[in-house]
Amino acid sequence: MTRYRNLLLFVLLAAAWGSAFMAIKAGLAYIPPVLFAALRYDVAGILMLLYAFYVTDRPIPRGRAQWTVVAVGATLIIAGYHSLLFIGETDPAVTSAAAAVIVSLSPVLTTGFARLFLPDERLTIVGIAGLLLGLVGVVILSNPDPDNLLAGGAVAKLLIFGAATAFALGSVLTRRIDADLPIETMEAWSMMGGALIMHGISLGLGESPADAVWNLESLAALAYLALVASALGFLIYFDLLDRLGPIQINLVSYVAPVFAALAGWVVLTEVPTVYTVVGFLVIFVGFVLVKRRAVRAELPRIRRFVLRS
């Protein structure tokens, strides 16, 4: 029964995080981008903090190392990632599926940064080839026009690539710092701090709450992102992380674009391009090359899990 539960939760997580790109796109029609991201984590941060108080005996960080981890998470994983992602998705040329595919590069970038900041771990020639292949996938997906590099959403896609880079770097740095902080506590305070940072960025960009249009669509998009994609999504993530481990959880990044494409097509009538599909496949091959040893070691377990399901 547990294996069916895990499979169902894995699909639900991929659906929640994949369809989030559609919800972002929908909400951006009514709410300024960085303000939208900040409001999302105002709500999600409070819910996650309540959850941290419920499940851990250390819901409040203590000491320099723990607050440093929170600061890195708030700055890079929450504020940096979501500010760039939301701004990038304002471009009409960027579909929900395209944004999800670019973000799926995060596991590849995470491995690259891990090798960079951990001198004992070096990328082999094959690993470097995998990392470069992932970058090639983003270029294919962006499909820049050599005569006009600012056209066709190329800049917006580069902003989303910057978001994936910020997320990957933040993930590595938070793991490198020896803080001994429960992940629920780190996520909760990072969300709260990231929301505050994004409110500051929003003000600096001249965004105003008065510019937001509140109607059924915008409220539904905000509620979906805060409650389903963030609060519920991270609850499922924490549960599966303990049960399946980081390798299988990484695969969510490669299932999410499928749900992003489906949600974008059904709700926003977005049609994925050939470049989106090819870019996704190239990025996935890059991931397999970079993580080939871990994937090879994990294959028997995944095979048994699928066959028994």
pLDDT of 190 reads 95
Mean pLDDT over residues 139-167, rounded? Answer: 74
With a CB cutoff of 8 Å and minimum separation 6, the contacts of 155 are 91, 149
| pTM score of the predicted model | 0.83
With a CB cutoff of 8 Å and minimum separation 6, the contacts of 163 are 80, 81, 82, 83, 84, 85, 88, 103
Say whether pLDDT at 221 is over 50: yes
Amino acid at 154: A
Q: In terms of residue numbers, what domain contains 183?
A: 2-308
pLDDT of 149 reads 40
User: How many structural domains are present in the chain?
Assistant: 1
Mean pLDDT over residues 234-257, rounded? Answer: 75
User: What pairs with residue 145 in β-bridges?
Assistant: 148
pLDDT of 144 reads 56
Say whether pLDDT at 148 is over 50: no
- The answer to whether residues 109 and 173 touch, using CB atoms and an 8 Å cutoff, is no
Q: Which range, 113-117, 125-129, 221-225, 299-303, has the best average confidence (pLDDT)?
A: 221-225
pLDDT digits (tens, 9 = 90+) for 120-140: 555 677 767 776 777 777 677
Report the C-alpha dihedral over residues 18, 20, 26, 28, rounded to 10 degrees. Answer: -120
92/109 Cα distance (integer angstroms): 26
pLDDT of 71 reads 96
Six-digit token pair at 163? 């978001």
Q: Compute the mean pLDDT over every residue in the chain, rounded to the nearest whole number.
A: 84
Where does residue 94 fall: left (phi above 0), alpha (psi -120 to 50 degrees), or beta otherwise?
beta
Say whether pLDDT at 285 is over 50: yes
SS3 content of the chain, % helix, strand, coil (to 5): 80, 0, 20
pLDDT digits (tens, 9 = 90+) for 65-123: 999 999 999 999 999 999 999 999 999 988 888 888 888 888 778 777 877 776 555 56
Q: Which range, 81-90, 151-160, 277-286, has the best average confidence (pLDDT)?
A: 81-90
- The answer to whether residues 279 and 100 touch, using CB atoms and an 8 Å cutoff, is no
pLDDT of 70 reads 96
123/290 Cα distance (integer angstroms): 8
pLDDT of 81 reads 96
Six-digit token pair at 242? 């303990």
